Amino acid sequence: MNDAQINLVKATWESLTPGADEVAHLFYSNLFEMEPKYREMFGTDMESQGKKLMMMLNTAVRSLDAIEAVVPAVQALGQRHVKYGVVADDYTAVGAALLKTLEQGLGDAFTEETQEAWTLTYGTLSGVMIEAAEEVEARGSA
């Protein structure tokens, strides 16, 4: 990611954070609409789950210009997801739900450049999570 893309992700994220609870609700609504099977992975306290999601995204977005600082937390998240039954293919649906949520939340500000910057951001973060999860799985089967 280049500086312009990082700044674009940060600026668009900042415009969404005042409505963080609504954004989280929209994200999970989109995810469950796209992939109803994911609903069973979550408990009943979706408000708490939404807050966790927004906190993690907030930390990751704010750390994009020094991504190495947040990599250990993202790796740990990927490792934790293994015990919930998350597999690499699941990250595709989550990415699609995130992009749809961003498009809905940003409206006209969700330009082609914005979509590309967020796609790169999500690809980077999900790649770290998938790699960490695969390491856990490899240790478990060794």
Q: What is the pLDDT of residues 70-125, one digit of tens each?
A: 889 889 988 988 888 888 899 999 999 999 999 999 999 999 999 999 999 999 99
- pLDDT over 90 percentage in the chain: 65
Name the band, by pLDDT with cuts 50, 70 and 90, for residue 142: very low
User: Dihedral angle at the C-alpha atoms of 16, 17, 23, 27, nearest 10 degrees?
Assistant: 90
Q: Which two tokens stand for residue 110?
A: 């969700």
Determine phi and psi for 116, rounding to 5 degrees.
-65, -45
Mean pLDDT of 55-72: 90
In this predicted structure, the answer to whether residue 41 has a pLDDT above a threshold of 70 is yes
- pTM, full prediction: 0.90
Rounded distance, CA 122 to CA 107, Å?
Answer: 19
Q: Which two tokens stand for residue 3?
A: 């500086």
